[in-house]
Amino acid sequence: MTSSFGSHIGRGGAPGSLPRHTAKALVLAVLAALALLLAACSSGGDGAEEGSGGSTPAGESGDSQGDDADGPVGSGGVELTSILQLHLVHESDSGDGTSPWGDAEVHMLFEPGGELGVFVFDGENALGRHGTYDLTDGTLTVEVATPDMAFDASVELDLNGPEVEMPFQLFDDAAGTSVWRTEAMGPMGATDMVFQAIRYDDHERVAREDAVERAHDFAAARVESDAGMETDGLDIGVEDDVDWDPPVIIDWEGFENGVTFVFDDDSKASVLLYTFGPEGDAPSLSPAPFAGDPRVELPTEVPGSSSSDPPNKTAVLLNPFATEFGEEEAVDAAVHTLEERGYSVVTRSDDEATFEAFVETLTDGGSPGLVTVSTHGGANGELATGEKAGTTRNWFTEWMADRKLKAAAARIVAAYPSAKTFEVGGELDRPYRAIRISSGGVGTLYVGLSPSFWKWLHEEQKADFTESFVFLSACESDKNPEVREDVNAAVFMGFSEQASVRGGTAVFSYLIEQLARPTRSVEEAHYNLIRVINTQQTIFEEDGLLATGGTEELPDILKVYSGGDYNPVSYEGRGFLDTSRNLGQIWWLTYSGRWSGDAAEGSEKLKNCWEQFWSQGNMGGLGSPACNASNVGSVPTEEEVGYARYLLTGDESLVVGSMVPRWTLADAE
């Protein structure tokens, strides 16, 4: 998912670039018109993901960024040894030109192999352009040749000097020079910006997986370039009585939407790699032909059977980015609905959703009935909590955030000593780690849950989800199969790919309203969600909740599993989704089975229709108008009748063929 300032942004003053006045007018018009409705990988709500603080404005004193007076901003006095550790940040032109991008920063960044990136960002919007560079014997040559940005220049570069003067102006056609300050980029910020610049380049389109691969290459090169970096005894404003040294990366681990850095103090920190883009148009849903039939909303009696219910009527709703994602109303509505169905509901939102809050709410009082988590996630299975450690970009800010992270880690270990020494497969694998999330070039570090969190939660904190429905609403939360195995829930739901915030929120709200209907199982609710998106038609009142951007891909990326025995089984191809059955027929049979308001009575009606008419190849006709109306317009099979009756009652003896274990919210009332 990508967005940019516009399809053409002219630098001016170079062959092939747009005329200066045209470029500026176009950029400003695009910026004014965008008011971007952005989504992120499980992020973004109705606006861009919040940038949690800002980057250092161009020209600001670097004192707060740990710069040396004669060295790069953010270096803290560390000597740079590779251009991969450096960014050049535009400060000023010698003429009167002004930036068409307002306060946005312009960075030159350097990838291994001579790839030059130019990255423009302001915390919400971003733009990338690419060219080449060469650094030989202290001479840096940079070249970009695109229709809207072009330059070719050589300068002497001191990696540890404070600035560089380029022989061209960035914002003026006239001959002149431009000053670029040097900034020592931390490995997390630099890796993320490499990826962001690639993905926000709408001139040279690069597929996401290729952009991730280049970010991985950069991470590997940074591990090599940072090896042996001397950080002891640096004067970077750390109190003498604080036992802390800046960490140095010693290794990296790549995953499908990120990079995890391993530091020399055994800590780990991940960078989630994704970009923002339009949510897409909301599907044009229209009422189904029979949506106005009064039988659609006939109330179904609560059957009084606990056979498919969780034993504990408790719900845990964890939303570390509730405000940023715009989820407050959805959470409030869910709490109201769940409480009406007799549930005790615990919520933790925004900065209340700490590591400790996750542990406490998920283990207090035994196995919860329903668990939903809405946050940022990695394909390796990690999740962000709502606890911030700071905005990061250069070495110094990453070091400062590290201090806060270590304080958080000490607090976590004091509460849960096993967290510090927990191992998986004989290797240290702590359940917490730092996670960096960016928006338009501005990155924030959060305390996160590592992929081993769920295993640790089970083994050390005795969590039990074997009777629970657990929905991890985060990007690629179902990508790592070990996560759903370790969660070990009666029902597990997650996303196999990137998902939009509005899509995730719609799923959350829809599931709550569907499951609140007596005798409605997760299997039926999931099928109804797919039905709405695939048919573009609404039947139930809550179907309209899916009329929002980011929902059209849900049938492909929303995955559901039954489990509870560390061997989750996918819903796909089973039960309601067994394509050997007429799925529309099963849906209609369950629909007609609830017309009387008593699902058990409706099940008996279907049994009688089968025995007296349908088994004889007769739909019912004049002999039984009720049976004639209770099928989809064709004679159902015994298998279809049996599965519909199972969905209505939970009687597994009625099932012929594949089935999915039934989970209902509150049928025992």
Residue 367 has pLDDT above 50, yes or no: yes
pLDDT confidence bin for 275, thresholds 50/70/90: confident
Q: What is the pLDDT of residue 99?
A: 80
pLDDT (tens digit per residue) in 404-424? 999 999 999 999 999 999 999
Instruction: Say yes or no to pLDDT of 17 above 50.
Output: no
Using a 10 angstrom Cβ sphere, with 0-12 exposed, 13-18 middle and 19 or more buried, the burial of residue 455 is: buried
Cα–Cα distances (Å) from 62 to 59, 76, 161, 164, 442, in that order, read 8, 10, 14, 16, 17
| Token reading at 638 | 């015994």
488/341 same-domain check:
yes
Identify whether the C-beta of residue 162 lies closer than 8 Å to the C-beta of residue 62.
no
Claim to verify: residue 454 and residue 340 sit in the same structural domain: yes
| Residue 434 belongs to some domain of the structure | no
Domain co-membership, 166 together with 292: no
Handedness of CA 129, 132, 137, 139 (dihedral sign): negative
Nearest to 107 by CA among 90, 94, 86: 90
pLDDT tens digit sequence for 190-211: 999 999 999 999 999 999 999 9
211 found inside a domain: no
Q: What is the pLDDT of residues 424-465, one digit of tens each?
A: 999 999 999 999 998 777 899 999 999 999 999 999 999 999
| One domain for residues 501 and 565 | yes
**Helix H or strand E segment including 180:** strand 178-184
Which residue's entry shows tokens 């904190």? 461
- The pLDDT, as a whole number, for residue 47 is 31
In whole angstroms, give the CA distance from residue 514 to residue 239. 56
Could you give phi then psi for residue 154, rounded to 5 degrees?
-130, 140
CA-based nearest residue to 543, from 297, 316, 327:
297
Residues 482-524 pLDDT 10s = 999 999 999 999 999 999 999 999 999 999 999 999 999 999 9
One domain for residues 354 and 470: yes
Beta strand pairing call for 139-146 and 149-156: antiparallel
Label residue 231 by pLDDT band (50, 70, 90): low
Please tell me the predicted confidence (pLDDT) of residue 69: 57
> Which of 206, 238, 269 lies at the terminal end of a domain, its last residue?
206
- Are the beta carbons of 403 and 242 closer than 8 angstroms? yes
- In this prediction, residue 98 has a pLDDT band, given cuts at 50, 70 and 90, of confident
The band of 355, judged by pLDDT with boundaries at 50, 70 and 90, is very high
Q: Which helix (H) or strand (E) holds 329?
A: helix 328-340
Beta carbons within 8 Å of 329's beta carbon, 6+ residues apart: none
For residues 433 and 448, is the Cβ–Cβ distance under 8 A? yes
Beta bridge pairs of residue 150: 145
Other C-beta atoms closer than 10 Å to the C-beta of 610 total 21
pLDDT at 442: 82
State how far the Cα of 85 lies from the Cα of 69, in Å rounded to an integer: 18
Secondary structure letter of residue 548 according to DSSP:
S
Whole-angstrom Cα distance, residue 281 to residue 237? 50
Determine contact, residues 650/307, Cβ cutoff 8 Å: yes
Are 533 and 592 in the same domain? Answer: no
Do the domain assignments include residue 544?
Answer: yes
Distances (CA, A) of 271 to 331, 366, 524: 28, 34, 37
Q: What is the pLDDT of residue 194?
A: 97
Query: Quick one: DSSP state of residue 203?
Result: S
Model confidence at 230, pLDDT cuts 50, 70, 90, reads low
Q: How confident is the model at residue 63 (pLDDT cuts 50, 70, 90)?
A: very low
HSE (side-chain half, CA atoms, 13 Å) at 90: 26
Of residues 280 and 572, the one with the higher pLDDT is 572
The per-residue pLDDT for range 126-167, each reduced to its tens digit, is: 899 999 999 999 999 999 999 888 899 999 999 999 999 999
508 and 561 inside one domain: yes
Instruction: Give the phi and the psi of residue 68 in degrees, each rounded to 5.
Output: -85, 145
Report yes or no on whether pTM surpasses 0.85. Answer: yes
Range of the domain at 152: 83-206
Which amino acid belongs to residue 268?
A: K
| Buried-state track 176-201, b at ≥16 Cβ within 10 A, e below 16 | bbbbbbbbbbbbbbbbbbbbbbbbbb
Residue 353 in contact with residue 320, Cβ under 8 Å?
yes
Residue listed under structure tokens 């291994």: 112
Average pLDDT value for residue range 282-301: 93
With tokens 């040559």, the residue in question is 141
109 lies in some domain: yes
Residue 148 belongs to a domain with what CATH number?
2.40.128
Dist. CA 16–CA 250, nearest whole Å: 44
Answer yes or no: is pLDDT of 244 > 80. Answer: no
Average pLDDT of the chain, as a whole number:
87
Look at residue 59 and tell me if it is in a domain.
Answer: no
- Max CA pair span of the chain: 96
For the ranges 147-151, 240-244, 664-668, the maximum mean pLDDT occurs at: 664-668
Residue 280 — very low, low, confident or very high, per pLDDT cuts 50/70/90? low
Residue 282 near residue 547, CB atoms below 8 Å: yes
Report the chain's terminal Cα–Cα distance, integer Å. 44
Query: Residue 19: its pLDDT value, please?
Result: 25
Q: How many CB atoms are located within 10 Å of the residue 289 CB?
A: 9
Q: Are residues 488 and 356 in the same domain?
A: yes
pLDDT reading at 65 higher than 80:
no
Claim to verify: residue 497 and residue 548 sit in the same structural domain:
yes
User: What is the total residue count of the chain?
Assistant: 669
| Residue that is last in its domain, among 522, 537, 570 | 570
According to DSSP, the β-strands at 370-374 and 277-278 are unpaired
Question: What share of the chain has pLDDT > 90, as a percent?
Answer: 75
What does the pLDDT read at residue 549? 86
| pLDDT top residue among 13 and 122 | 122
Q: What average pLDDT score do residues 245-263 get?
A: 91
Q: What is the band of 2 on the pLDDT scale with cuts at 50, 70, 90?
A: very low
CB 149 within 8 A of CB 137: no
Is residue 543 domain-shared with residue 624, that is, in the same domain?
A: no
In the prediction, which pLDDT does 56 show? 33
Task: For residue 85, give the H/E element and its range.
Answer: none
How many domains are there within the chain? 3
**134 and 200 fall within a common domain:** yes
Residue 278 has pLDDT above 90, yes or no: no
* Neighbouring residues of 220: CB distance < 8 A, sequence distance ≥ 6: 252
Whether residues 316 and 341 share a domain: the answer is yes
Pair of tokens at residue 231:
């950080």
Q: In the prediction, which pLDDT does 654 show? A: 97
Per-residue pLDDT at 296 exceeds 90: yes
How far, CA to CA in Å, does 88 sit from each of 20, 72, 261?
23, 9, 24
Tell me what the mean pLDDT of segment 583-610 comes to.
Answer: 98
What's the pLDDT tens digit per position in 307-331? 999 999 999 999 999 999 999 999 9
Task: Give a yes or no: residue 420 inside a domain.
Answer: no
Position 265 confidence tier, pLDDT thresholds 50, 70, 90 = confident
Tell me if 376 sits within 8 A of 437, measured CB to CB. Answer: yes
CATH number for 520: 3.40.50
Average pLDDT on 340-354 reads: 98
For residue 429, being part of any structural domain is answered with no
Instruction: Answer positive or negative: Cα dihedral of 648, 649, 655, 659.
Output: positive
Domain end call among 542, 570, 598: 570
Q: Is the confidence at residue 7, as pLDDT, over 70?
A: no
Is 262 a residue whose pLDDT tops 70?
A: yes
Per-residue pLDDT, 403 = 86
**DSSP readout, 455-509?**
HHHHHHH----TT-EEEEESTTTTSSHHHHHHH--SEEEEESS---HHHHHHHHH
Element (H, E) at 216: helix 208-226
Spatial CA neighbour of 547 closest among 559, 558, 555, 538: 538
Cα(603)–Cα(643) distance, integer angstroms: 10
Answer yes or no: is 276 within a domain: no
Q: Answer yes or no: are the C-beta atoms of 73 and 394 closer than 8 Å.
A: yes
Strands 268-272 and 432-439: parallel
Strand partners, 664: 521
Q: What pLDDT score does 435 carry? A: 97
Task: Return the residue matching tokens 């976590």.
Answer: 412
Average pLDDT score over residue span 169-173: 84
